[in-house]
Structure 1
Amino acid sequence: MKNTQFHQHTNSPHPQTSIHHPLHSLLKEHFGFTAFRPLQEEIIRDVLAERDVVALLPTGGGKSLCFQLPALARSGLTIVVSPLIALMKDQVDGLRANGIAATFLNSSLTAQESQARLRGLHQGDYRLLYMAPERLMLPGYLSLLRNFQVNLLAIDEAHCISEWGHDFRPEYRRLVELRDQVPTLPIIALTATATERVQKDIVTLLRLRDPACYVASFNRPNLTYQVQPKDNPFGQVLAFLRKRPKDCGILYCQSRKTTESVAERLQHYGINAQAYHAGLSAEERTRHQELFLRDETQVICATIAFGMGINKPNVRFVIHYDLPKNLESYYQETGRAGRDGLPSECVLLFSAGDTVKQQRFINEKPNLQEQQIANRQLQEMVHYAECATCRRRTLLQYFGEHVESENCGGCDNCLTPRDTFDATEATQTVLSCVEEVCGTSGFSVGLNHIIGVLTGANTEKIRRWGHDRLTSYGKGTAHRRPEWASISRELIRLGYLHQTADPFTVLEVTDQGQHFLQEPKTLMLTKPMSTPERNPSSVEDLGHDEMLFTRLRQLRKTLADEADVPAYVIFSDVALRQMARDYPTNEQEFLQISGVGNRKLQEFGPKFLAVIARHLEDYAPLTIPKESNLSPAPSLGNQTPATNQKDFKNQHDLEGDEETASSERSTISPAQSHGRQDPLSHGQGRRGIGARRVREVREDDQDQRTPLADFFNRPARKRPLGDTVNQTLRYFLAGHSVEQIARERGLVTSTIYGHLEQAIQAGEPVDLSQLWTPEQELEMAAAFEKTGFGNLTGAKELLGNLYDYGQLRLYRVVHGKS
Structure 2
Amino acid sequence: MAASTLDQALAQLGYDAFRPGQREAIDILMQGGRALLVAPTGGGKSLCYQLPALLLPGTTLVISPLIALMQDQVAGLTARGIPATFFASTLDAAEARLRLDGLMRGAYKLAYIAPERLALPGFRDRLMKLGCPLVAVDEAHCISEWGHDFRPEYGQIGELLRELNPPRVLACTATATPIVRDEILVRLGLPADTPQLLRGFARPNLALRAAEISGPRERAARVDAVLAETLFAPGAGRGSAIVYTPTRRLAEEESQRLAAAGWRATAYHAGLSGELRALAQAAFTEGRAEIVCATNAFGMGIDRGDVRAVVHLGPPGSIEAYYQEVGRAGRDGGNAVGLMCWQQSDLPLRRRLLESPGSDFTPDPDVIEHKWNLFLELIRWADGAACRHDAILRYFGDEAETLHGCGRCDVCLALGSVDEVSVEEATQLARKLLSGIARVQNRYGLKQAVRLLRGESEDRLERDGLTRVATFGLLRDRSEAWIQRALSRCVTAGWIGFSGDQHPVVRLTDDGVAIMRGQRSARWLPPPDAERSAASNGGARGGRSGRPSRAVAMDEEPLDSIEALIFESLRELRLDLAKSEGVPAYVIAHDRTLRELARLRPRDEDELRAVPGFGERRVERYGEAFLDVLGRR
Corresponding residue of 2:599: none
Q: Does 1:43 align with 2:40?
A: no
> Quick check: 1:300 aligned with 2:271?
no
- Alpha carbons of 1:88 and 1:238: their partners in 2 closer, same or farther (altered >3 Å)? farther
Which residue does 2:305 correspond to in 1? 313
Task: Decide whether aligned partners of structure 1 residues 332 and 73 sit closer, same or farther in structure 2, where only a CA change above 3 A counts.
Answer: same
Residue 434 of structure 2 corresponds to which residue in structure 1?
Answer: 434
Aligned to 2:553: none
Query: How far apart, in 1, do the equivalents of 2:257 and 2:138 lie?
Result: 35
- Contact 1:486 1:528 survives alignment (8 Å): no
Once residues 356 and 271 of structure 1 are traced to their aligned partners in structure 2, the CA distance between those partners, rounded to angstroms, is 34
- 1:415-451 deviations in Å (ceiling 9; x for gaps): 234854687888745413524765x899999866643
On the 8 A contact 2:264/2:291 being kept in 1, the answer is yes
- C-alpha distance in 1 between matches for 2:250 and 2:35: 40
- Which of these residues, 524, 528, 543, is aligned with residue 525 of structure 1? 528
Task: Indicate if the aligned counterparts of 1:316 and 1:345 stay in contact, CA closer than 8 A.
Answer: yes
Question: Which amino acid is the alignment partner of residue 58 of structure 2?
Answer: G
Matched with 1:486 is: 485
String of CA shifts for 1:154-189, please: whole Å, max 9, x gaps.
Answer: 111111222342212232222111023212353211
Aligned positions of 1:68-467 closer than 5 A:
68-184=50-166, 186-209=168-191, 210-216=193-199, 218-230=201-213, 231=215, 232=217, 233-243=219-229, 244=231, 245-246=236-237, 247-304=239-296, 308-364=300-356, 366-402=363-399, 406-417=404-415, 420=418, 428-435=428-435, 438=438, 450-451=449-450, 453-455=452-454, 467=466
- Equivalent runs, 1:689-704 vs 2, <5 Å: none
Which structure ranks higher in relative contact order (CA pairs < 8 Å, sequence separation ≥ 6)?
Answer: 2
Q: 2:508 aligns with which of 492, 506, 509?
A: 506
**Which residues of structure 1 form unaligned runs of 5+?**
1-15, 536-622, 626-641, 646-818
Q: 1:207: how far off? A: 0.4
Quote the Cα distance in structure 1 between the aligned partners of 2:91 and 2:537: 52
Show the counterpart of 2:45: 63
* 1:321 to 1:163, Cα distance in 2 relative to 1, 3 A: same
How far apart, CA to CA, are the structure 2 residues paired with 1:93 and 1:81? Answer: 17
Which digits, 9 at most, give the CA deviation of each residue in 1:40-87, with x for residues without a partner?
011112222332211111233211111111122223222222222333
1:768-787 correspondence to structure 2 within 5 Å: none
Would you say the 8 A contact 1:383–1:489 is kept in 2? no
How far apart in 1 are the matches of 2:393 and 2:276? 36
3-state SS in 2 of match to 1:345: strand
**CA displacement at 1:95 relative to structure 2:** 3.2
Cα pair 1:84 1:309 within 8 Å, conserved: yes
Aligned partners of 1:222 and 1:344 also within 8 Å: yes
Alpha-carbon distance between aligned partners in 1 of 2:19 and 2:268, rounded to the nearest angstrom: 31
Deviation at 1:461, TM superposition (A): 8.4
Give the unaligned 5+ runs of structure 2. 358-362, 501-505, 548-633
Native 8 Å contact 2:440 2:449 kept in 1:
no
Per-residue deviation, 1:481: 5.0
**Partner of residue 470, structure 1:** 469
Shift of 1:255: 1.7
Q: Does the residue aligned with 1:311 lie in a helix, a strand or coil?
A: coil
Distance verdict in 2 for CA 1:444–1:101, change over 3 Å: farther
**C-alpha contact 1:30 1:99 (8 A) present in aligned 2:** no
TM-score (structure 1 length as normaliser): 0.56
**Conserved? CA contact 1:428–1:517, under 8 Å:** no
- Tell me, yes or no, if the aligned pair for 1:90 and 1:311 is still in contact at 8 Å: no
Q: Distance in 1 between matches of 2:135 and 2:524?
A: 58
2:205 maps to amino acid: N
Distance 1:520 1:162 in 2: 31
The alignment-based identity, stated in percent, is 35
Distance 2:345 2:533 in 1: 14
Q: What's the CA shift string for 1:786-806, capped at 9, x where partnerless?
A: xxxxxxxxxxxxxxxxxxxxx
How far apart in 2 are the matches of 1:530 and 1:351?
20
The one-letter code of the counterpart of 1:272 is: R
SS at match of 1:226: strand
Instruction: Note closer, same or farther for the CA distance 1:313–1:128 as it changes in structure 2 (3 Å cut).
Output: farther
1:23 aligns to 2:14 (yes or no): no
Task: Encode CA deviations 1:727-767: one digit per residue, 9 max, x unaligned.
Answer: xxxxxxxxxxxxxxxxxxxxxxxxxxxxxxxxxxxxxxxxx
Counterparts of 2:80 and 2:333 in 1: how far apart (Å)? 21
2:572 corresponding residue in structure 1:
none
Q: Which has the larger radius of gyration?
A: 1
* TM-aligned CA distance change 1:306 to 1:522, over 3 Å: closer
Question: Which AA in structure 2 matches 1:398?
Answer: Y
**Cα distance, 1:326–1:270 mapped onto 2, change above 3 Å:** same
Instruction: Indicate the SS of the match to 1:143.
Output: helix
Alignment-mate amino acid for residue 432 of structure 1: K
Note the 1:635-714 alignment, pairs <5 A: none
Q: In structure 1, what is the Cα distance between the partners aligned to 2:93 and 2:108?
A: 19
Distance 2:529 2:10 in 1: 50
Contact 1:431 1:517 in 2 (8 A): no
Is 1:20–1:74's contact at 8 Å kept on the other side of the alignment? no
Letter in 2 for 1:301: C
1: distance between equivalents of 2:260 and 2:522? 59
* Contact kept? 2:427, 2:522, Cα under 8 Å: no
Aligned residues of 2:266 and 2:293 also touching (Cα < 8 A): yes
Question: 2:348–2:498: 8 Å Cα contact kept in structure 1?
Answer: no
Which segment drifts farther, 193-202 or 278-287?
Answer: 278-287
RMSD of equivalent CA atoms: 4.2
What is the DSSP-based 3-state SS (H/G/I as helix, E as strand, rest coil) of the residue aligned with 1:296? coil
Q: Which amino acid aligns with 2:302?
A: I
8 A contact 1:302–1:308 mirrored in 2: no
Superposed CA deviations along residues 381-437 of structure 1, whole A, max 9, x for unmatched, are 111111233211222222223376653202011123485468788874541352476
What TM-score, normalized to structure 2? Answer: 0.71
| Residue pairs, 1:787-806, within 5 angstroms | none
CA distance, structure 2, for counterparts of residue 522 and residue 136 of structure 1? 51
| Structure 1 SS opposite 2:528 | strand
Q: Which whole-Å CA distance do the structure 2 matches of 1:265 and 1:357 have between them? A: 25
> How many Å separate the matches in 2 of 1:22 and 1:420?
57
Partner of 1:695: none
- Cα deviation 1:647-700 (Å, max 9, x = unaligned): xxxxxxxxxxxxxxxxxxxxxxxxxxxxxxxxxxxxxxxxxxxxxxxxxxxxxx
Which residue in 2 is equivalent to 1:806?
A: none
- 2:407 aligned partner, one-letter code: G
| Residues 434, 450 of structure 1: 8 Å contact kept | no
Secondary structure at 1:317 match in 2: strand
Instruction: Note the C-alpha offset of 1:464.
Output: 8.3
Instruction: Give 1:219's aligned amino acid.
Output: A
* Whole-angstrom distance in 2 between the partners of 1:450 and 1:97: 64
Matches within 5 A, 1:802-817: none
Distance 1:171 1:473, change over 3 A: farther
Distance (whole Å) between structure 1 residues aligned to residue 94 and residue 170 of structure 2: 31
Matched-pair contact (CA < 8 Å) for 1:248–1:314: yes
